[in-house]
């Protein structure tokens, strides 16, 4: 079989534990036999990060910045237990956090829809994609416990000019205070990433906030969004997509009643909460993909799940596992489709789409891993082991493209 040549390089970021095990199976059975790719490989497995004092994470992020497209396996974010378990020099920072701040990107989570894995919400037919702003608000807040009567004030001291003092509350007794902030540049970049994503995926863009109550803070977000959308309104028209601003509570109600098929841009806290609601509504974490998009159009694709430790422990004991590889496969096909789109190589896009189709049809034929079995309708008997599922997909691809 002649391989399809991918014109420009792709950055591959390797990871940890069970995610790394399936990563290698996917590459060997579903990617390497079909594509000829100039891979720029970065091993972000915990050992390598420790050896390089985490420089490899920065190098990988810089490579994506240069090359434009990357694909990443799930990695361990070490906590104290992990430092002991892997005998690490330090509790290295989250690789995703490092890469996200270097690319200044936004993460979009998108579920994979399969006919016989119906979502919990009956009318959801198309993916609901969540874009979460990842800077500020309560995640960078200053808090204070008020122990007794006194006046709380908001004070801003400009570099030049008069101090601004606004009274927050005159406390008669105990209470609590929080100060939050955000940055115009960060909000604007978030809006731009969301606009890029909506245009490139041809989906409506929704943004929800509570500007009726928070006229300045939430209003600031609303105005930046409408300002940026306004600048490219002709592109929205060309693509046949719409922008909708909603109050956040209305957005929640409308999303539940909808068929899906929109990008829902969320402020930091809303995105944290809503992405978990949408993910569980669509079924397994094994069906949730994620892509980091920078405001200047660099992409990093991954699965939303972690390193699946429990399965890895079973695997190390030599026991059979049934780990869902679908989101990781779609990370690869997502990266290849984007590469093909940027390079203008239709055959790359077409083949990557064939692989996605083969995955979906395999599940629709009733071949699936254990996590999907309780969700399947009609019900299925039995489940495929980790490697059996990938093999079933590989043979289906060979059948379609061979015949």
Given Mg ion, ligand NAP, none, residue 96, with its beta carbon under 5 to 8 Å by kind, binds ligand NAP
Binding flag, residue 75, ligand NAP (CB under 6 A): yes
Q: How far is the CB of 280 from ligand NAP (least distance, A)?
A: 11
Q: How far is the CB of 284 from ligand NAP (least distance, A)?
A: 6
Integer CA distances (angstroms), 220 to 73, 109, 211, 262, in order: 36, 25, 8, 23
Q: How far is the CB of 334 from Mg ion (least distance, A)?
A: 22
Binding flag, residue 308, ligand NAP (CB under 6 A): yes
Binding flag, residue 272, Mg ion (CB under 5 A): yes
CA end-to-end span of the chain, whole Å?
Answer: 12
Q: Which residue's Cβ lies closest to Mg ion?
A: 272
Collapsed DSSP state (helix, strand, coil) of residue 46: helix
Binding flag, residue 137, Mg ion (CB under 5 A): no
Exactly one of 307, 333, 345, 362 binds ligand NAP (CB under 6 A); which one? 307
Q: How far is the CB of 139 from Mg ion (least distance, A)?
A: 11
Exactly one of 6, 31, 69, 74 binds ligand NAP (CB under 6 A); which one? 74
Collapsed DSSP state (helix, strand, coil) of residue 29: helix
Instruction: Look up residue 9 and give its two tokens.
Output: 């390089």
Q: How far is the CB of 384 from ligand NAP (least distance, A)?
A: 12
Where are any strands of DSSP class E within 197-308?
204-209, 243-247, 262-266, 288-293, 299-303
Binding flag, residue 298, ligand NAP (CB under 6 A): no
**CA 116 – CA 377 distance, rounded (Å):** 5
Torsion of CA 90, 95, 100, 103, to 10 degrees: 90
**CA 194 – CA 58 distance, rounded (Å):** 24
Exactly one of 20, 70, 96, 117 binds ligand NAP (CB under 6 A); which one? 96
Point out which residues bind Mg ion (CB under 5 A).
272
Interacting residues toward ligand NAP by CB under 6 A? 74-77, 96, 285-286, 302, 305-310, 323-324, 371
């Amino acid at each position: 079989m002649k391989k399809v040549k991918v014109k420009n390089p792709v950055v591959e970021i390797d990871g940890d534990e069970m995610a790394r095990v399936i990563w290698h199976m996917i590459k060997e059975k579903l990617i390497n036999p079909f594509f000829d790719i100039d891979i720029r490989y970065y091993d972000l497995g915990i050992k390598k990060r420790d050896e390089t004092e985490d420089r490899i994470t920065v190098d990988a992020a810089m490579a994506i910045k240069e090359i434009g497209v990357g694909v990443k396996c799930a990695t361990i974010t070490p906590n104290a237990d992990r430092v002991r378990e892997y005998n690490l020099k330090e509790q290295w920072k989250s690789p995703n956090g490092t890469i996200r701040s270097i690319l200044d990107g936004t993460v979009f989570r998108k579920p994979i829809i399969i006919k016989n894995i119906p979502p919990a919400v009956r009318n959801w037919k198309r993916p609901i994609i969540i874009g979460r702003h990842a800077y500020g608000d309560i995640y960078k807040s200053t808090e204070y416990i008020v122990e007794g009567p006194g006046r709380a004030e908001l004070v801003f001291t400009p570099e030049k000019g008069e101090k601004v003092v606004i009274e927050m509350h005159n406390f008669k007794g105990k209470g609590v205070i929080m100060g939050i902030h955000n940055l115009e540049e960060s909000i604007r970049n978030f809006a731009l990433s969301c606009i890029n994503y909506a245009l490139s995926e041809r989906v409506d863009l929704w943004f929800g906030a509570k500007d009726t109550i928070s006229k300045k803070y939430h209003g600031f977000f609303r105005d930046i969004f409408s300002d940026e959308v306004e600048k490219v309104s002709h592109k929205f028209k060309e693509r046949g997509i719409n922008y909708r601003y909603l109050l956040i509570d209305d957005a929640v109600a409308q999303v539940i009643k909808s068929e899906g098929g929109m990008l829902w841009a969320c402020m930091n806290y809303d995105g944290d909460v809503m992405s978990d609601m949408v993910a569980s509504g669509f079924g397994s974490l094994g069906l949730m993909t994620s892509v980091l998009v920078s405001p200047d159009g660099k992409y990093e694709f991954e699965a939303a799940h972690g390193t699946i430790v429990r399965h890895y422990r079973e695997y190390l004991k030599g026991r059979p596992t049934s780990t869902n590889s679908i989101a990781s496969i779609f990370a690869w096909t997502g990266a290849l489709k984007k590469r093909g789109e940027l390079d203008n190589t239709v055959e790359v896009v077409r083949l990557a789409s064939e692989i996605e189709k083969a995955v979906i049809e395999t599940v629709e034929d009733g071949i699936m891993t254990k996590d999907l079995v309780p969700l399947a309708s009609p019900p299925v008997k039995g489940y495929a082991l980790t490697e059996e599922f990938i093999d079933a997909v590989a043979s289906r691809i060979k059948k379609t493209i061979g015949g």
